[in-house]
Amino acid sequence: MRILLKLSGEALAGEKKTGFDEETVKRVGLQVKKLVDDGVQVGIVIGGGNFWRGRTSENIDRVKADQIGMLATIMNCIYVSEIFRSQGMTTNILTPFECGSFTKLFSKDRANKYFEKNMVVFFAGGTGHPYFSTDTGVVLRAIEVEADYILLAKAIDGVYDSDPATNPAAKRYDTISIDDVVAQNLQVVDMTASILARDNKVPMRVFALSEDNSIVKAASGDFNGTTVTTN
């Protein structure tokens, strides 16, 4: 079994909303370790929103702003990788562009090699291109490394038909097809990533990171959240 786990940058910040919160990351790490110890191959993609969002920076060029965003995701991966190592895991960080000795250049073969050694593989730097997101990055890498599914750990506990923050009558789906996600423009991942997941049949499980043991439960399939199917 090979899975990719997507965490938002904000998730690393805990209550602080910016930077890192070590306790939050350690809670994630304990769960990832349990999966790895059980023989699951785990890849990690992390956003950058705890540091930077390219599109909100009005006064600088978007391409440059996005480069800063991609670098933010690498900082996040280096941090989380080190916390995971302190918890007894072995890790490697792959990026789509050279970062000297900080990371290794992504290739499918290299990722496979690390997965087979039971290392946690971080896919940092997004797609390596501006105008994309780490949502697209995680779907792209899931396709490339032939992951079985993506775990989307979110601030919200699944996929709703409307925003529960503004509509108290919003209904959560237990299961929804990726075709319906795209057709109804539902916020699971961004639209570019949704279409990539639909066209390449990448299943996803959406759940709240804050719930106890939610990553392990989602990986087992018996979890509180939404399954996004591909058939």
Q: 135 to 194, contacts with ligand UDP by CB under 6 A?
A: 135-137
Q: Is 132 helix (H, G, I), strand (E, B) or coil?
A: coil
When binding is defined by CB under 6 A, the residue of 2, 26, 104, 129 that contacts ligand UDP is: 129
Q: Which stretch binds ligand UDP (CB under 6 A): 35-43, 52-60, 157-165, 201-209?
A: 52-60
Residue 225 makes contact with ligand UDP by CB under 6 A: no
Proportion of the chain in helix, strand, coil states, percent, rounded to 5? 40, 20, 40
Beta strands in 22-112 (DSSP E): 41-46, 91-95, 104-105
CA distances from 62 to 58, 129, 222 (A): 8, 11, 41
Nearest approach, Cβ of residue 140 and ligand UDP (Å): 8
Q: Is 202 helix (H, G, I), strand (E, B) or coil?
A: coil
Residue 127 makes contact with ligand UDP by CB under 6 A: yes
Rounded distance between C-alpha atoms, residue 2 and residue 144, angstroms: 12
Q: Which stretch binds ligand UDP (CB under 6 A): 28-36, 100-108, 121-129, 164-172?
A: 121-129
Nearest approach, Cβ of residue 38 and ligand UDP (Å): 28
Q: Which stretch binds ligand UDP (CB under 6 A): 34-42, 63-71, 159-167, 193-201?
A: 63-71
Question: Computed over its alpha carbons, how large is the radius of gyration of the chain?
Answer: 17
When binding is defined by CB under 6 A, the residue of 43, 69, 158, 225 that contacts ligand UDP is: 69
Rounded distance between C-alpha atoms, residue 181 and residue 160, angstroms: 10
Binding site for ligand UDP (CB under 6 A): 9, 47-49, 53-55, 65-66, 69-70, 72-73, 126-127, 129-130, 132-137
